[in-house]
Amino acid sequence: MKKIFLVITSLILLGLFTLPELKAQTTTAESKVIKLTESNFNNGINSGLILVDFYADWCRPCIMMKPILEEVASENAKDIVIAKLNTDQNKAISQQYGISGIPCMILFKDGVEVTRIIGYHEKTALLEKLQTHF
């Protein structure tokens, strides 16, 4: 029993065995999701259809949404821009929009809030909510 524990611990430390949620945190250079901050938020939402994902790094449902948002961003780039804003690092914007639970996704059209999507959504459910605005 002790040997099994040591082997699993070693694999985890070596990075050979990780939970899928932790792998989802990895950011690639090919990401189509735009990172927003307090300094670029207003310019980021002022033109076109923008879905902003208000998230935190410690939020499990937010971690689960990340690959879904990456897919939506890649597959629908001509219709919508997907962006993200870290609520822990950008508290003023989070307060301005009354973000009290995450994940919270706000869809903006030319800088005006159109709708909110709260919580984790599978890709098909998310697209159903978004496609009425394309």
Helices within the chain (DSSP H only): 2-14, 20-23, 41-45, 60-75, 91-96, 123-131
Q: Is 59 annotated as catalytic?
A: yes
Domain-embedded: residue 82: yes
pLDDT for 134:
87
Question: What torsion, rounded to 10 degrees, do the Cα atoms 94, 96, 99, 104 define?
Answer: -80
pLDDT in tens, 87-118: 999 999 999 999 999 999 999 999 999 999 99
Which residue among 49, 50, 62, 99 is the active-site one? 62
Look at residue 26 and tell me whether its pLDDT is greater than 60: no
Q: Is 104 annotated as catalytic?
A: no
Whole-number Å distance between alpha carbons of 71 and 82:
10
Which residue among 24, 34, 56, 59 is the active-site one? 59
Domain-embedded: residue 96: yes
Domain-embedded: residue 110: yes
pLDDT in tens, 34-87: 999 999 999 999 999 999 999 999 999 999 999 999 999 999 999 999 999 999
Domain-embedded: residue 106: yes
Look at residue 19 and tell me whether its pLDDT is greater than 60: no
Residue 32 sits in a domain of what CATH number? 3.40.30.10
Write the CB contacts of 66 (distance below 8 Å, at least 6 apart in sequence): 24, 25, 55
Domain-embedded: residue 12: no
pLDDT in tens, 2-15: 555 445 555 455 54
Q: Residue 29: which domain range?
A: 23-131
pLDDT in tens, 120-129: 999 999 999 9
Write the CB contacts of 14 (distance below 8 Å, at least 6 apart in sequence): none
What domain count does the chain have?
A: 1
Write the CB contacts of 62 (distance below 8 Å, at least 6 apart in sequence): 53, 55, 56, 102, 103
Domain-embedded: residue 15: no
Domain-embedded: residue 2: no
Note the pTM of the prediction, 2 decimals: 0.78
Domain-embedded: residue 8: no
